[in-house]
Amino acid sequence: MPDVLVVDDDPHLREVVSYALSRAGFGVRTARDGLEALREVDRKAPDLVVLDVLMPELDGLETCRRLRAKGRLPIVFLSSRDEEIDRVLGLEMGGDDYLTKPFSPRELVARVKAVLRRAAPPADEAAPGPAALEAGGLRLDLVGHRCFVGAAEVPLTVTEFAILEALMARPGRAFTREDLVDRAYGEGHHLADRTLDSHIRRIRHKLREHGLDPIETVHGLGYRFGG
């Protein structure tokens, strides 16, 4: 049973989200603000965090930054602000998905399940493909969900890993943004172009810190992995 930490200063929203997740089979813990959330994570790391952006004490973006410094714990942002810049900022801070209030509890459950699917390594017996993808000094460990440049590990979020895996699996192929969303998120998932571009920009930044820049922009179409 996956364990989800719900972080929001609104007690009614915490109750609604907790109820929806519990009915879907998740174990649920709650926190009222970012500081309490960090203490909960230190006490016992959940499988995923549902994180409100606007909170007292410590807001969601700073909480995300501190969580990202600890590891690659999946994060789904919630926000009452529907500005594109807020969604992009949340994702560039390391969020895996972003929902705007008000939202359907059913949609939230679906998003949580989708992020957890991306985070789960394939079962050894069921994994028909290779255990790793390698190109030009870059290595993706598909079983351990880890990324390396040489001996150095590159910390990727769940979504960043899924996007890079999709690109590396077909080097040289030009993917439309829609293709990448289908492969990384699952078919039928709607995602704004700017959101995907934000994930690509973060991947590029992390790889460039290690001297690699293998993702190429195909103008008017999308992206490809150049190796």
Instruction: Give ranges for CATH 3.40.50.2300 in the chain.
Output: 3-119
Instruction: Give ranges for CATH 1.10.10.10 in the chain.
Output: 132-225
Contacts of 178 (CB under 8 A, 6+ apart): none
- Beta carbons of 75 and 49 less than 8 angstroms apart: yes
Least confident of 80-94, 106-120, 175-189: 80-94
Q: Which of 50, 184, 41, 26 is nearest to 117 (CA)?
A: 184
Q: Would you say domain 132-225 falls under CATH 1.10.10.10?
A: yes
Q: Say what angle helices 84-92 and 193-208 make with each other, to 10 degrees.
A: 30
- Beta carbons of 169 and 176 less than 8 angstroms apart: no
Alpha helix (H) ranges present in the chain?
11-23, 34-43, 60-70, 84-92, 105-119, 158-169, 177-185, 193-208
What pLDDT was estimated at residue 40? 95
**pTM for the predicted model, two decimal places:** 0.67
Mapped onto helix, strand or coil, the DSSP state of residue 122 is coil
> pLDDT for 88-127, tens place per residue?
667 777 788 888 888 999 999 998 998 898 777 655 544 4
Rounded to whole angstroms, how far apart are CA atoms 48 and 84?
Answer: 24
Rounded to whole angstroms, how far apart are CA atoms 39 and 207?
Answer: 31
> pLDDT for 136-166, tens place per residue?
899 999 888 899 999 999 999 888 998 999 9
CATH class belonging to 3-119: alpha beta
